[in-house]
Amino acid sequence: MPVRSLNSSVLISPNRQQVLQGLKAWAAQAKAENTNVLQVGYFGSYARGDWGVGSDLDVVLILAHSDLPFERRASQFDLTGLPVPVDVLVYTQAEWERLTFQREGKRWWKEVRWG
């Protein structure tokens, strides 16, 4: 999130590298603490390279399995430590495979960057 520079009224926003390093560190910790987390990726403006001040980070998590409905899964993950606001989509591996099998037209999941 943009923060004030000491006693200045200037807002400083984290750069792309800082945001992606934060996500990489979060992903490593999430995978270490939860073997159900298979993959962590990002898409949207940070993946396309057209992010700017105020951009959020769009994250996708792939789980081995989940008993929770899709709309409740994201609440199981705390991404508040990342330097920008985050929107997260959480799929099971089976759901992700079904989704990505749909190959016609431009699809958002084609731009997911894993890491």
Q: What is the pLDDT along the chain (115 residues), one digit of tens a residue?
A: 555 555 666 667 899 999 999 999 999 999 999 999 999 999 999 999 999 888 999 999 999 999 999 999 999 999 999 999 999 999 999 999 888 776 655 577 778 998 7
Residue 98 CA to residue 66 CA, distance in Å, equals 15
Q: Output the pLDDT for position 78.
A: 96
Query: Per the domain annotation, does 20 fall within a domain?
Result: yes
> Domain range holding 56?
8-106
Instruction: Identify the CATH number of the domain in which residue 67 sits.
Output: 3.30.460.10
Query: Per the domain annotation, does 115 fall within a domain?
Result: no
Query: Per the domain annotation, does 2 fall within a domain?
Result: no
Q: Output the pLDDT for position 2.
A: 54
**Helices H / strands E in the chain, number of each:** 4, 6
Query: Per the domain annotation, does 66 fall within a domain?
Result: yes
Query: Per the domain annotation, does 14 fall within a domain?
Result: yes
Query: Per the domain annotation, does 112 fall within a domain?
Result: no
b/e code 78-105 from CB counts within 10 Å (16+ = b) = ebeebbbebebbbbbeeebeeeeeeeee
Q: Output the pLDDT for position 109.
A: 74
Query: Per the domain annotation, does 26 fall within a domain?
Result: yes
pTM to 2 decimal places: 0.85
Per the structure, the count of domains in the chain is 1
Query: Per the domain annotation, does 3 fall within a domain?
Result: no
Tokens of 8: 């200045």
